[in-house]
Amino acid sequence: MSRSIAYTSSPLLASRTPLWRSKLIVATIALAFVALAGRAVYIQVIANDFFIRQGQVRFARTLELPAHRGRILDRNGLILASSVPAQSIWAIPEDVERDELALKKLAKLLEMPLAELNKRLEDEDKTFVWLKRQVDDAVAQQIQTLGIKGIYQRKEYKRQYPEGEAAAHVVGFTNVEDIGQEGVELAFNKALAGRNGSRRVIKDRLGRVVEAVGEQIPPIDGQDLELSVDSKVQFFAYQKLRDAVLQHKAKAGSVVVLDIVSGEVLALANYPSYSPGNRQNLTGEQLRNRALTDTFEPGSTMKPFVIALALEKGITTPQSQIQTAPGRLMVGSAMISDAHPHGVLTVNEIIQKSSNVGTVKLAMQMQPREMWDMFSQVGLGQKPHLPFPGAVSGRLRAYKTWKPIEQATMSYGYGLSTSLFQLAHAYSVFARDGDLVPVTMQKTGEPAAGVRVMDARHASAVRNMLHMVTGPGGTAPKAQTMGYSVGGKTGTAHKQEGRGYAAKKYRGFFVGLAPVDKPRIVVAVMIDEPSNGKYFGGEVAAPVFSETVQQTLRMLGIQPDMSVKPQIVAQAVQESF
């Protein structure tokens, strides 16, 4: 009764609601439901494709399934380059906890200033930012221990190079994306890289995979690559080269070792070098593969080719005598001279003593085209058939432009240029009885068919002359190798500087073969700008040749062809330029 009285006594409660207001409220609610239904139809039926795409943009991701990069192996199966797992650190800036102490520890582990770390985390609109790629496992574990919200890790692969500096210029390196940048890594990048796979997934806002959708495309791993290089020979050659460069206070040096039976490159070393796995503060001086990219005037190493051509043309014989006195010769208005006058020399002795005058007298009896043909046939002026980036062709001018003095100077290695690799390759004609062997960086293990350049008798005759160079009275007795007979040719050339030649800057080199009677290898050594008092090729390059030959032949299982005892080393004759 009291409740009824209270109701009727309240003006607000006692007043009747107008009918139109009730209808308006009901109609509004009905319209709202119709609008929601229409919107649902629009989203789920009419504009379905658009909203599906938007959802995919925000949450669907195509994850790359990286292919495992192939290994690089030496001829004996030893690893020169391989990929190992490595964690990369990334962040979602808007989610990162701004704990100053924790961020300081993180910056220290990432080896970056705290200001740099804060700068990378400034943009909170970003949902992804790399902090550091491919950190060491120990560092990754310490970062994980910090437990900083918004900091995550992703598994990638990092390249390792067990041989380090010794094989750096052969193997090269990859960038952080595992793409080859230098050496074999670049030259054979497509085969080594393989092909990445992929899979479609749904991720939450923290980057976690919550559902896999669509078809998965599996990755195709890269192929392993077996090189012709012998890592032991490579290391030994590099070590002896480095010691020689440091001993003679030289600017740089290079060594090339070729197996002349198969044409395989057994070693290709340069100093200075670098560590492929740690390239901080890397300079161009360290990076250059000098044996292939640097050219120089080859000096007296050209003389054996001129003598071989003279034998081919019937101009002379090994025992023919040539008057070289008084040690000087005028060609036009230019004077050509020997370092020491020798008088009458046989053709054998012209090579043994490295006589400019004797060589020029024979060269001037030939046509320029004949010399040009010989130089071209042994590969000078042509890019080596190797896949290495940066390999140069050198310079061999057209014979029609040669003046008499230019023909004369080219006979003893001035007026043309070559790389050390080209020079080593050219000498294979003497080691293979007149055949030029095709070269390769990949292991074959099979004898290679060469291209005939000269008669076998003449190649053998020149090989005997090269043997005399390393004996008493020759310019390179320091090239002698305990247990093995060797032959080769010294070269010493002034370095070009501006439009002329530097008075006191030289390159010393030695190119030779061993064993003499049945050659197996050709070794070429170049020392650039020795500045410790000695600069002749017989002094600075020949000892590196000697040690490299002995080690290489032992590694190849070649039996000594000479009595294994210390050999008498006579005083070297200073060679002509």
Contact 192, 220 (CB under 8 A): no
How many angstroms separate the CA atoms of 173 and 90, rounded? 24
Interatomic CA distance for residues 96 and 437, integer angstroms? 63
Are 425 and 385 a contacting pair, CB within 8 Å? no
Write the burial class of residue 17 (CB in 10 Å: 0-12 exposed, 13-18 middle, 19+ buried): exposed
Q: Which residues make Cβ contacts (< 8 Å) with residue 447, sequence separation at least 6?
A: 261, 262
Give the HSE-up count for residue 218: Cα atoms under 13 Å, Cβ half-sphere. 3
Provide the CB-side half-sphere exposure for 521 (13 A, CA). 26
Does 300 participate in catalysis according to the annotation? yes
Q: Are 173 and 183 in contact (CB under 8 A)?
A: yes
| Residues 564, 480 contacting (CB under 8 angstroms) | no
Separation of alpha carbons 508 and 522, rounded Å: 17
Beta bridge partners of 521: 259, 514
Confirm if 117 and 131 have CB atoms less than 8 A apart.
yes
Phi/psi region, residue 436 (left: phi>0; alpha: psi -120 to 50; beta: rest), is beta
* Alpha carbon distance 362, 504 (integer Å): 30
φ/ψ (deg, to 5) at 381:
80, 10
Tokens of 235: 């290391």
Alpha-carbon gap, residue 470 to 572, rounded angstroms? 9
- With beta carbons less than 8 A apart as the criterion, state whether 82 and 71 touch: yes
Say if residue 181 is exposed, middle or buried (CB neighbours under 10 Å; 0-12, 13-18, 19+). middle
| Catalytic pick among 83, 262, 300, 576 | 300
Which active-site residues does the annotation give?
A: 300
